[in-house]
């Protein structure tokens, strides 16, 4: 990695300003789009580490220019930065390898290598190879710089703290913006769906990222003892994040936090897996035995999700009779299952669900928010999206990735001595944060966006980096 040259930085700033001036003079969006790519490439070359870490702050604040141009779906400034890092880091690795060879034997990494290979294969067999090729390219600039090369940047454990700080600051800014905007509408439920625009598309992804960030801010707060000003700032940030979570009116986010805390409790008390499996078996047996009565109770639940009351909104999560949001989600899931029945091995191709699901809609499952054209988005499940687009093998590979992430993170937590309190708290925060996302992933899928991919893959990279350092200490 090269050191920054400040004279070159000044010259580049002048050059970039000229580009912006041209874009304004000629009213050309294309020149405007080129400028961030040039900036991203420059800073990626001369300030590589800082550029990588800046993604944590920029992800919550990025804006999709598709909302303004109707031509190109691109998040600025994050995706140009990621693309620049992808090219630079691969070129540097080929010229003078700097990644540890051990990372390629780590299960989290090699599972994603397999996923990318399988994604390429299913792109070739896709019903729409062009769409799938775009999806594969985007997946590469998320996974390769963030997960693969992220392990290198997080070898310096100070970068973990820096990443956490930048992430919670970026999210806090968007929450403050959203709360102020939402307050102008008396915190109405309908307005909660779009008041976070232009930073987030809707309240579902906003709620997911706010939920993911909360454990990180709490971890930093717990570790700030002896620093009154820092502690006060972190208390304020944590309070803002809690407010953001509440006023997101996102049921999946609320529930994901609850179940993530339950997982954290089970991990912390080191409950034996036999008890966990036994409890899971008893729970499934209970559901099976009482299936009819549960179905009857669900059919009587008429609580709509449009309420602003916390308890009533949670209750509406079980309304599968009249709640349009729940019914539409079931419609999308049914479509994904029907799609994989037709193409069980290769699926319809990466990124193709929204282009294919329309004809798989059962008229009995259609809701007031369904469309015959099937142009309203994705499968509303990370797992069913992988199933319908990349077949049964694609789902199994993705599940293997999730299992390895939690297995390695939990083992790392147990193997880290109590004397390394900071590291233990950070690892637990990562376990809770990733739990919120992968629980939420049953109901929504956001890993095709920078908002979710940057924090999720970077947290996974931290696990890999810490795990490799632990192994190097135990096996010198």
Domain ranges of the chain: 1-98, 103-270+323-476
Instruction: Give the model's pLDDT for residue 351.
Output: 92
pLDDT surpassing 90 at residue 150: yes
Minimum mean pLDDT among 20-29, 167-176, 181-190, 314-323: which range? 314-323
pTM: 0.86
pLDDT surpassing 70 at residue 332: yes
Structure-model confidence comparison of residues 61 and 5, the more confident one: 61
Instruction: Give the model's pLDDT for residue 301.
Output: 43
C-alpha dihedral, 243 to 249 to 252 to 253, nearest 10°:
-10
CA pair distance 208, 226, nearest whole angstrom: 32
- In this prediction, residues 227-234 reach a mean pLDDT of 93
Instruction: Give the model's pLDDT for residue 367.
Output: 73
- Percentage of the residues of the chain whose pLDDT score is greater than 90: 50
Structure-model confidence comparison of residues 278 and 422, the more confident one: 422
Q: What is the pLDDT of residues 114-147, one digit of tens each?
A: 999 999 999 999 999 999 999 999 999 899 999 9
- In this prediction, residues 195-217 reach a mean pLDDT of 94
Instruction: Give the model's pLDDT for residue 405.
Output: 97
CA pair distance 296, 279, nearest whole angstrom: 24
Structure-model confidence comparison of residues 311 and 339, the more confident one: 339
Instruction: Give the model's pLDDT for residue 25.
Output: 54
Instruction: Give the model's pLDDT for residue 314.
Output: 45
pLDDT surpassing 90 at residue 3: no
pLDDT surpassing 90 at residue 237: yes
Instruction: Give the model's pLDDT for residue 22.
Output: 56
pLDDT surpassing 90 at residue 154: yes
- In this prediction, residues 210-230 reach a mean pLDDT of 93
All residues at 6 or more sequence positions from 351 whose CB lies less than 8 Å from its CB, including other chains: 131, 132, 134, 135, 389, 448
- In this prediction, residues 56-76 reach a mean pLDDT of 81
Instruction: Give the model's pLDDT for residue 344.
Output: 95
Q: What is the pLDDT of residues 373-432, one digit of tens each?
A: 555 678 889 999 999 999 999 999 999 999 999 999 999 999 988 888 899 999 999 999
Contact between 44 and 84 (Cβ < 8 Å): yes
pLDDT classification of 318: cutoffs 50, 70, 90: very low
- In this prediction, residues 332-353 reach a mean pLDDT of 93
Q: How many CB atoms lie within 10 A of CB 97?
A: 9
pLDDT surpassing 50 at residue 298: no
């Amino acid at each position: 990695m090269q050191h920054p040259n400040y004279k070159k930085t000044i010259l580049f700033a002048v050059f970039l300003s000229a580009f912006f001036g041209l874009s304004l003079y000629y009213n050309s969006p294309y020149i405007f789009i080129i400028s961030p790519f040039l900036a991203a490439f420059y800073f990626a070359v001369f300030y590589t580490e800082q550029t990588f870490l800046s993604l944590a702050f920029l992800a919550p604040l990025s804006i999709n220019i598709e909302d303004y141009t109707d031509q190109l779906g691109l998040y600025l400034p994050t995706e140009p930065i990621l693309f620049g890092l992808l090219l630079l880091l691969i070129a540097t690795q080929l010229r003078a390898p700097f990644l540890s060879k051990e990372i390629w034997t780590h299960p989290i990494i090699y599972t994603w290598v397999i996923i990318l290979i399988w994604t390429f294969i299913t792109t070739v067999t896709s019903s729409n190879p062009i769409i799938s090729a775009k999806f594969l390219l985007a997946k590469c600039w998320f996974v390769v710089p963030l997960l693969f090369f992220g392990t290198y940047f997080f070898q310096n454990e100070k970068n973990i703290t820096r990443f956490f700080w930048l992430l919670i600051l970026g999210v806090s800014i968007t929450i403050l913006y959203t709360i102020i905007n939402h307050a102008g509408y008396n915190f109405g439920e309908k307005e909660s769906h779009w008041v976070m625009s232009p930073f987030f598309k809707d309240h579902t992804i906003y709620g997911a990222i706010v939920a993911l960030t909360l454990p990180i801010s709490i971890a930093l707060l717990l570790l700030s003892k002896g620093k009154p000003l820092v502690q006060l700032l972190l208390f304020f940030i944590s309070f803002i994040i809690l407010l953001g979570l509440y006023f997101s009116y996102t049921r999946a986010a609320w529930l994901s936090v609850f179940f993530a805390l339950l997982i954290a409790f089970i991990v912390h008390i080191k409950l034996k897996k036999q008890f966990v499996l036994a409890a899971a078996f008893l729970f499934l047996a209970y559901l099976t035995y009482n299936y009819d009565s549960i179905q009857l109770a669900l059919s009587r639940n008429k609580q709509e999700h449009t309420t602003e009351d916390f308890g009533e909104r949670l209750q509406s999560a079980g309304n599968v009779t009249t709640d349009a949001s729940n019914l539409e989600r079931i419609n999308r899931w049914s479509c994904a299952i029907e799609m994989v029945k037709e193409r069980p091995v290769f699926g319809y191709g990466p990124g193709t669900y929204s282009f294919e699901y329309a004809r798989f809609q059962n008229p009995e499952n259609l809701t007031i928010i369904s469309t015959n054209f099937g142009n309203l988005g994705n499968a509303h499940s990370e797992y069913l999206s992988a199933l319908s687009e990349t077949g049964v093998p694609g789902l199994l590979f993705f599940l293997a990735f999730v299992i390895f992430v939690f297995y390695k993170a939990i083992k790392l937590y147990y193997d880290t001595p109590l004397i390394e309190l900071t590291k233990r708290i950070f690892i637990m925060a990562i376990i809770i944060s990733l739990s919120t996302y992968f629980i939420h992933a049953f109901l929504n899928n956001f890993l095709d966006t920078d908002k979710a991919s940057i924090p999720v893959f970077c947290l996974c990279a931290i696990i890999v980096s810490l795990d490799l350092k632990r192994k190097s200490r135990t096996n010198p």
